């Protein structure tokens, strides 16, 4: 037993579409320390949302586990029966979805939807549930008098707060937030992230925050896990990883996003697209887009190596990281890389 609430090791998830097999998550490895917010970051299609859903074991019919371990509090979630897994859901692992609008049932009031988890999953009676619901609304900053409202009566930001209240309902050990602020405008994004962060600190929550927006990670996360094409390419403490990235993809990603607090500076996108996961390239998957790729990169598969304290990176050129960082800071490096 470690200080980690969750250890994911070599996780593989494959979608079968017709005869094609898409390896959405291919050998993903990372840890979530207790009481911290960990940002899981990458472009769309890199497998981060699949990882988030895989942790709940509620996936699309086409998706299947191909291997790996998901040790939650020392127990491998993949080894649990469906009934045992279901006992864990929401009580231990809760979920904040991307779009609270679509994730709340439009025909029930928020109170009814809270009651559902508080009573059916939490074993409370009606009075306890009511008290808890009011407490939760207080915590996320909504007037408890609005408990009887329907989802469509809330604004986008309010709905996201409702989603947080729902996730907190049963004091879960781990909350998975899948792009919780993506659909909101920047000001509301900050408010929601502030709420989330303060609740996390106050309650000592462990949170996985899935996002494509590295500035969100920089704003709230203690640690960061960078994914590319179904694999983890770098992970470590947020500050270390963002100031001293070891993987060219992390360097590129950082250039491509504005700061949440200021929008100064030129943004440099990474050219090209993530690879087709039904037929991924050999070697390092980032090599085709990497400005620093060398011949071995397209044949040799890099593994995660320790590059600092609790900081790992999967790049064949980790030893030259300092030099690469200097080049990566220049815009022209990223132009015409492919």
Partner 1 sequence: MVFVLWAVATILFLMFRLMPSNPLAAYIDPTFTIEQQAILMAKFGLDKPLWEQYFIYLWNLLHGELGDSFFYRQPVGQRVLELLPNTLILTFSSLIVAYMFGIIAGAWLAWKRDTFAERVSIPMVLATRAMPEFWLGMLLLAVFSFSLGWFPAGGTRSPGSEYSGYLALYTSRDFLAHLVLPALTLAIYSQGLPLLLMRSNMLEVMHEDFVTMARIKGLSNWTVVVRHAARNALLPVMTSFAISVGYQIQGNVVVETVFSWPGLGRELVNAVSASDYPLAQGAFLMIAVVVVLMNLLADLLYGLLDPRVSHA
Whole-angstrom distance, CA of residue 36 vs CA of residue 32:
7
Note whether 56 binds partner 1 by CB under 8 A: yes
Whole-angstrom distance, CA of residue 119 vs CA of residue 148:
17
Note whether 49 binds partner 1 by CB under 8 A: no
State the nearest-atom distance from the C-beta of 121 to partner 1, in Å: 6
Q: Which of residues 149-178 bind partner 1 (CB under 8 A)?
A: 149-150, 152-153
Position among 1, 17, 107, 187 found at the interface with partner 1 (CB under 8 A) = 107
Note whether 87 binds partner 1 by CB under 8 A: yes
Q: Which is nearer to partner 1, 54 or 304 (CB)?
A: 54
Note whether 17 binds partner 1 by CB under 8 A: no
Note whether 300 binds partner 1 by CB under 8 A: no
State the nearest-atom distance from the C-beta of 167 to partner 1, in Å: 10
State the nearest-atom distance from the C-beta of 331 to partner 1, in Å: 39
Note whether 104 binds partner 1 by CB under 8 A: yes
In which element (H, E) is residue 131 found?
helix 126-140
> 207: which 2 tokens?
């949170």
Residue 261 burial (CB count, 10 A): 11
φ, ψ of residue 205 to 5 degrees: the values are -75, 155
Note whether 86 binds partner 1 by CB under 8 A: yes
Position among 14, 29, 49, 103 found at the interface with partner 1 (CB under 8 A) = 103
Q: Which is nearer to partner 1, 56 or 182 (CB)?
A: 56
Q: Which of 154, 207, 205, 153 is nearest to 178 (CA)?
A: 207
Q: Which is nearer to partner 1, 42 or 122 (CB)?
A: 122
Phi-psi region of 320 (alpha: psi -120 to 50; beta: other; left: phi over 0): alpha
Burial grade of 336 (CB within 10 A; 0-12, 13-18, 19 or more): exposed
State the nearest-atom distance from the C-beta of 191 to partner 1, in Å: 23
Position among 90, 246, 257, 286 found at the interface with partner 1 (CB under 8 A) = 90
Note whether 116 binds partner 1 by CB under 8 A: yes
Please report the DSSP string for 164-201 in residue order. Answer: HHHHHTT--SEEEEESTTTTS-HHHHHHHHHHHHHHHH
Q: Which of 296, 286, 298 is nearest to 328 (CA)?
A: 286
Site track for partner 1 across 230-249, x = CB under 8 A: --------------------
Whole-angstrom distance, CA of residue 146 vs CA of residue 154:
9
Q: Which is nearer to partner 1, 121 or 173 (CB)?
A: 121
Contact positions vs partner 1 (CB under 8 A): 56, 58, 86-91, 95, 97, 99, 102-107, 109, 116-117, 120-121, 149-150, 152-153
């Amino acid at each position: 037993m470690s200080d980690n609430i969750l250890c994911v090791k070599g996780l593989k998830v494959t979608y079968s579409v017709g005869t094609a097999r898409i390896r959405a998550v291919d050998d993903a490895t990372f840890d979530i320390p207790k009481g911290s917010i960990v940002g899981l970051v990458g472009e769309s299609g890199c497998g981060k949302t699949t990882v988030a859903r895989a942790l709940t074991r509620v996936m699309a019919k086409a998706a299947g586990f191909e291997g790996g371990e998901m040790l939650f509090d020392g127990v491998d979630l993949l080894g649990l029966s469906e009934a045992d897994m279901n006992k864990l859901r929401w009580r231990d692992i809760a979920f904040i979805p991307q779009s609270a609008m679509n994730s709340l049932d439009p025909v029930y009031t928020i109170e009814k939807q809270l009651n559902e988890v508080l009573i059916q999953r939490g074993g409370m009676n009606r009075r306890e549930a009511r008290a808890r619901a009011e407490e939760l609304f207080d915590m996320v900053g909504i007037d408890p008098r609005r408990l009887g409202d329907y989802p469509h009566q809330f604004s986008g930001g309010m709905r996201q707060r409702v989603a947080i209240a729902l996730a907190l309902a049963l004091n879960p050990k781990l909350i998975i937030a899948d792009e919780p602020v993506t659909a909101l405008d920047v000001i509301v994004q900050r408010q929601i992230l502030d709420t989330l962060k303060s609740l996390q600190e106050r309650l000592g929550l462990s949170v996985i925050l899935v996002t494509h927006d590295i500035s969100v990670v920089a704003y709230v996360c203690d640690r960061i896990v960078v994914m590319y094409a179904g694999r983890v390419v770098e992970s470590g403490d947020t500050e270390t990883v963002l100031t001293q990235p070891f993987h060219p993809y992390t360097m590129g990603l950082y250039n491509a996003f504005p700061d949440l607090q200021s929008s100064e500076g030129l943004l440099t996108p990474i050219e090209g697209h993530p690879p087709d996961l039904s037929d991924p390239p050999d070697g390092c998957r980032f090599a085709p887009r990497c400005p620093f790729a060398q011949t071995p990169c397209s044949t040799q598969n890099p593994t995660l190596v320790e590059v600092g304290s609790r900081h790992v990176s999967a790049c064949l050129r980790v030893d030259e990281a300092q030099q690469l960082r200097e080049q990566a800071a220049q815009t022209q490096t990223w132009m015409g890389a492919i």
